[in-house]
Structure 1
Amino acid sequence: MFKINNLTYQYDKKRKALDNISMDFDKGDIIGIIGSNGSGKSTLFNNLMGILKPTEGEILYKNNKLKYDKKSLYNLRKDVGIVFQDPEKQIFYSMVYDDLAFALRNIGLDRKNIKVRINKALEAVNGEDFIDRPVHSLSFGQKKRVAIASVIAMENNLILLDEPTAGLDPESTKAIVEIIKSMYNKGKKIIITSHDMNLIYDICDYTYVLNKGKIIVEGKVEEVFINEEKIEEAGLELPWLVKLNKNMDLPLFRKEEDLYNYWSENFGMNLNKIAK
């Protein structure tokens, strides 16, 4: 998929939003990119999509260097979809069906296939009842689901999710997490930026940590999050399961259920029932 070699992006002569970074997104199936505000996460996504062009370095997709002519970017975006942090940035039509149909019409699908894809995409995000609704009637979380449905309908192989759970209540967050896991189970490659360390720890298998446009640590999720010094340097905090490992001398659990099972086996208390 994507490989980045020594990429630098400057907004002006004094400020580097990305500073000589290299990444290989074949190192995981769900890649996390974390960092505080201003670390360069959104700028990175805009470079990957060809919205911005690197000041220095190169981006490869499927071993081919990105080209910025209209046809090349069109082909890239048929294969790579992005869901922005603010769904309003990618919802242009007043009705949900028309918005989802827009990109599909642009790639030449007929009316029948468009309808089939839209129905499947909305079903995947549990949004079947959105199909004939005006966009302005949807909640913020529902708009996020429509934005994700738009990339599902395009049948992209790689999906970039920029802060997918930002601004959502717990119920909507849980729904988005289930959608992400479902996309992964269907063979999609996913790259996520997020401030939610518990989300990244839960669903990602490889993580890059950005700080002021530089990669300060990378690796498998467990390896990255036990490096408390680098996490704090990036202005982030440890996931709660890692805090338990650090502060209570417990094993390092990857899943909440693993903690409950461990507690039940060792202390005879079923925490699964308590959690529910």
Structure 2
Amino acid sequence: MVVISGIIEFRNVSYSKNNNMILENISFSLKKNKYNVIIGKNGSGKSTILKLIVGLEKISGGQIFIDNEELVYKRDELYKIRKKTGIVFQESNEHIIGETVAESLIFGMENNRIPLEKMKENMTKYVKLFQLENIIDKKTVNLSGGEKQKVALAGAVITEPEIILLDEVTEMWDKVTKDKMNGIIEEFLKDGKTVVSVTHNLEEIKRSDNIVFITEEGKIVTGKSEEVNKIIEKKENTEINHEVISEYSADLTKMSLKEEEIKVKIKDISYYYEKERKIIDSFSVNIPKDSITAITGKSGTGKTTLIEIISGLAFLGENFSGEIGYNFRNENKEKEDEKLLLYKNISERELYEIRKRMGIVFQNTGEQFFSGTVLEELEYNITKKYKIKNRKSKELNDKIKEIAELFGYDEKFLMKSPFVLSGGEKKMLGLALAVCLEPEILILDEPTGALDYNMTIKFMQIVEKTKKNGTTVILVTHDENIVKQYSDYILKM
């Protein structure tokens, strides 16, 4: 019989997938009733560890023990483990089951066969705890990224599990929401829960009780050793004060631009998600050409909605008013810029002319992939952009080689399935696919949330290079470091 009380131990565990060794002969313990964090570079297997704990993936060798009972891959035993474990992954859409927030919360309790009266009690308790009263009846498809992550966390803990597994859950939250959610997690610890968090966040690492660090060589270092302390020190040196952001980025709402300086002109737009619920209200701003504009603000203020409208992905029927103008380069370089307009009930043909000039990296980047390998994903975008019909042509091979060199992809990586990549690797591939299109406007939605320090720098260096080549970049972010170091303008919502 499997009994779970919170302590987890890996003994000489190995895990491989598609002939790729992801974890090799690793051993460590996660402390009971403590805040455990797992850190390491992107692709080191951090998220995989969480999946192994709940049996979503099966180890290739070694043993996993939960409260000194070995993990057994049998249906009934796995059900008992998952019933006592709450997990939140990076891509929150994986957790959103119901049509509304209420239905999503109820689903987990029904799945765990919680009695009706207890379900009612838990709904009241956790809706209040997570401050979901204003969105409890909201359709989940209309939630912001931060709201989805909050609902996913609420759904994971509403069943009152003994172990809570978190995979980069704080990265889509503004500072106020992040502080509130961290306070809730601290209360879980006081109630005797065990928390295991995969993170790159310095504050989480500093306040943790136990650190499991996966080194670049795939070895495990635990506790606050000298090697771990070096990581903390490096992160501290990159931290900045929230109050100084405005010193580095010009506030677009307070600027006046000349017509020839404008790439996107947003004029008096309003947008409804649901009847009588206006997410954007009479909003106007001009976004400069050949620049990086950071859109910031607390969760649920319409940041993602705004970039979906700009990119032509949002539905623009009776729920939309106002207009957006674009100054696009004319394919005939001798002619003036081509001016396009986005408005209510715009035709598909007109939308296509706008969309084809865009490159987009979504929050949940995995939703952008559909091919069997990384190479096939790149080939699709390149052949589409350059109208290449022969997949064995030198032109295509040269373009693939150029992108592979820019992003550091070797032949082995190109043959990987995009669906088995780590969260950070998926983000980088999303950027690679966008860069393939040589877009005039590059839109990034929380692009660095799942990235480690080194990959964040590499990602943003490529974004900067893209800007220098004539691309206007619009990014939604809660990362103050990104705003300080890379943005030319800031738009606060």
TM superposition score normalised by structure 1: 0.77
Map 1:92-107 to 2 at 5 A.
92-107=97-112
Task: Compute the displacement of 1:158 (Å).
Answer: 0.7
CA distance in 2, matches of 1:36, 1:83: 20
Report if aligned partners of 1:96, 1:132 keep a CA contact under 8 Å in 2. yes
Q: Which runs of 5+ in 1 are unaligned?
A: 244-276
Query: Which residue does the alignment assign to 2:137?
Result: 132
Task: Compute the displacement of 1:54 (Å).
Answer: 0.5
Structure 1 or 2: more helix by fraction: 1
- Secondary structure (helix, strand or coil) at the match of 1:104 reads helix
CA distance in 2, matches of 1:18, 1:149: 30
Task: Compute the displacement of 1:213 (Å).
Answer: 7.1
Query: Which residue does the alignment assign to 1:12?
Result: 18
Query: Which residue does the alignment assign to 1:26?
Result: 31
Task: Compute the displacement of 1:27 (Å).
Answer: 6.9
Structure label with greater radius of gyration: 2
Equivalent of 2:213 in 199, 209, 213: 209
TM superposition score normalised by structure 2: 0.45
CA distance in 1, matches of 2:13, 2:75: 22
Report if aligned partners of 2:15, 2:59 keep a CA contact under 8 Å in 1. yes
CA distance in 2, matches of 1:51, 1:9: 12
- Structure-2 change in CA distance of 1:214 and 1:199 (3 Å): same
- Secondary structure (helix, strand or coil) at the match of 1:82 reads strand
State the AA in 1 paired with 2:234: L
Task: Compute the displacement of 1:2 (Å).
Answer: 0.9
Report if aligned partners of 1:96, 1:134 keep a CA contact under 8 Å in 2. yes
Query: Which residue does the alignment assign to 1:170?
Result: 175
Cα RMSD of the aligned pairs, angstroms, is 2.4
State the AA in 2 paired with 1:204: S
- Secondary structure (helix, strand or coil) at the match of 1:214 reads coil
- Secondary structure (helix, strand or coil) at the match of 2:28 reads strand
Task: Compute the displacement of 1:138 (Å).
Answer: 2.1
CA distance in 1, matches of 2:79, 2:86: 11
CA distance in 1, matches of 2:209, 2:226: 10
- Secondary structure (helix, strand or coil) at the match of 1:129 reads coil
Task: Kindly provide the CA deviation profile for residues 162-197 of structure 1, in whole angstroms up to 9, marking residues without a partner as x.
Answer: 011123332332232222222222221100001112
Query: Which residue does the alignment assign to 2:8?
Result: 2
Query: Which residue does the alignment assign to 1:67?
Result: 72
Report if aligned partners of 1:9, 1:17 keep a CA contact under 8 Å in 2. yes
Map 1:1-276 to 2 at 5 A.
1-13=7-19, 15-26=20-31, 29-201=34-206, 203-212=207-216, 214-220=218-224, 225-226=228-229, 228=230, 231=231, 238-240=234-236
Q: Which runs of 5+ in 2 are unaligned?
A: 1-6, 240-493
State the AA in 2 paired with 1:164: V
CA distance in 2, matches of 1:152, 1:54: 26
Judge which range, 180-189 or 166-175, deviates more.
Answer: 166-175
CA distance in 2, matches of 1:181, 1:117: 19
State the AA in 2 paired with 1:188: K
Report if aligned partners of 1:38, 1:212 keep a CA contact under 8 Å in 2. no
CA distance in 1, matches of 2:82, 2:226: 33
Task: Compute the displacement of 1:136 (Å).
Answer: 2.1
State the AA in 1 paired with 2:146: G
Task: Kindly provide the CA deviation profile for residues 44-74 of structure 1, in whole angstroms up to 9, marking residues without a partner as x.
Answer: 1111110011001010111111111111111
Task: Kindly provide the CA deviation profile for residues 213-268 of structure 1, in whole angstroms up to 9, marking residues without a partner as x.
Answer: 72342113x75543x2xx3xxxx86342899xxxxxxxxxxxxxxxxxxxxxxxxx
- Structure-2 change in CA distance of 1:61 and 1:216 (3 Å): closer
Task: Kindly provide the CA deviation profile for residues 100-146 of structure 1, in whole angstroms up to 9, marking residues without a partner as x.
Answer: 11121123233332121122122222223332221123221111111
CA distance in 2, matches of 1:165, 1:213: 27
State the AA in 2 paired with 1:4: F
State the AA in 2 paired with 1:184: L
CA distance in 2, matches of 1:77, 1:126: 26
CA distance in 1, matches of 2:100, 2:63: 39
- Structure-2 change in CA distance of 1:30 and 1:241 (3 Å): farther
